[in-house]
Structure 1
Amino acid sequence: RTADRPGHDGVDIMAARGTVIHAASGGVVVRVRCNIAGNSWDSPFSYPMPCDRDGYPGLGGCGWYAEIRHAGDIVSRYCHMVRQPSVRVGQTVAPGAPIGIVGTSGNSSGPHLHFEIHTSYPASSNNAINPVPFMIEHGAPL
């Protein structure tokens, strides 16, 4: 979080649309969701979904996203995917496993990965931390 962007609980990593998103570490997928304009829809869905199109600044929400619960109840969140993540709730993923594709769904001005780290489960704004120093500390700089 930064003072100039309250509520922005992670870091934006620029990447081209279609870039594969990989799990930061192994764990269990605990959420796959479409989130825009303050509304959320859990997976699986009937199509089309509101997140199945490009978003725009001011729309609100994370678009298509997934959360992985890691050892010690650390949670990583991956937002703005181009389509429904390729993982499912309850699925165990290995470190580096593909989980989705970079897009620009939800509150987004262009293709990128919004990446969050939360210090406990379930993830919330209250337990979000800056992922940059966390990942450096754990030997995986962004």
Structure 2
Amino acid sequence: MPAKGKHRRPKSQRFTRSIAVVGTGGAALALPLMGATGAHAATPTATVAKTATAAPAAAKKAAGTKVYAVKAGDSLSKIADEQNVSGGWKKLYADNRSAVGSDPSLIRPGLKLTIGKKAASGSATQSSAKTTPSSTKSTTSAASAPSTSSSSGYTLPVAGATVGTGYKVAGSMWSSGYHTGVDFVVPTGTTIKAIAAGTVVSAGWGGAYGNQVVIQHADGQYSQYAHMSALSVSAGQTVTAGQQIGLSGATGNVTGPHLHFEIRTTPNYGSDVDPVAYLRSHGVAVG
């Protein structure tokens, strides 16, 4: 008992420096606990509500994924550039291999591509694709065969590609005043094929055309394949329809990867004819 006549002042509960942790959907919020005097209950409540609302939004933003629908004229390289895909078209292909298939040039309008997948997800997709390469290859070949080759022994120079710049499109960037061939929109590294059996007339550097191959065919016409990143044939070599002659690229005077393809009446520049009409006359469908 305290001494008589003395009064001990009751200790107030000092909470102002204490810290409480309030759970907000996995986030921790540190709040001061106020005493009964001067406490404002509305302040911590409003802060908690705001934090709880922001948490899902932040998580959604962190995911950073979106779905892109392929349009006519698209290529993986073009999409990767436009969508600023880190890692370029190869990363985009790796993340969507199960949807695209074994050939990165075979993308069709309406195909849904996921952009911004995590690397682990992309690796898992690749692993899954590697476990069934035979079935994937068979399915792709069966689907593309009707549109890339014909019974006449002719085929498209690139499987499943769409035409970008067409034949005889006018423009000052071409020395002739017009486009002397057609551009097939494909990413670098796509297999380029001989459209028919023939003999390689030239294979090497072609100035503005970059790395190019010119082949003479049995009907006396010549096919030219330009801007290639690699060549698989040499001058004087005979080739068969559909045989790989190199890989697409962006060598020479170009703004991006594609295959420039021409049909000529001679092996030289300036003797061009409509390449799409030529292929169609031999039963080859051109998209």
The residue identity in structure 2 corresponding to 1:31 is S
Q: How far off is 1:22 after superposition?
A: 0.4
Mapped contact 1:75–1:123 kept (Cα < 8 A): no
The SS at the match of 1:73 is coil
TM superposition score normalised by structure 2: 0.39
Aligned twin of 1:18: 189
Mapped contact 2:205–2:212 kept (Cα < 8 A): yes
Aligned twin of 2:232: 86
Q: How far off is 1:102 after superposition?
A: 0.5
Q: Which runs of 5+ in 2 are unaligned?
A: 1-166, 172-176
Aligned twin of 2:72: none
Runs of 4+ in 1 over 3 A off after TM superposition: none
Is it true that 1:136 corresponds to 2:280 in the alignment? yes
Larger helix fraction of residues = 2
Aligned twin of 1:74: 221
Is it true that 1:122 corresponds to 2:283 in the alignment? no
Larger strand fraction of residues = 1
**RMSD value, Cα:** 1.4
Aligned twin of 1:9: 180
Mapped contact 1:118–1:129 kept (Cα < 8 A): yes
Mapped contact 2:192–2:244 kept (Cα < 8 A): yes
Mapped contact 1:27–1:70 kept (Cα < 8 A): yes
Tell me, in whole angstroms, the C-alpha distance in 1 between the residues paired with 2:232 and 2:256. 21
Q: How far off is 1:4 after superposition?
A: 1.1
Residues 95-124 of structure 1: per-residue CA shift (max 9 Å, x gap): 0000000000001111100000012x3333
TM superposition score normalised by structure 1: 0.76
**Max Rg structure:** 2
Tell me, in whole angstroms, the C-alpha distance in 2 between the residues paired with 1:89 and 1:35. 13
Q: How far off is 1:3 after superposition?
A: 5.2
Mapped contact 2:249–2:258 kept (Cα < 8 A): yes
Tell me, in whole angstroms, the C-alpha distance in 2 between the residues paired with 1:8 and 1:67. 18
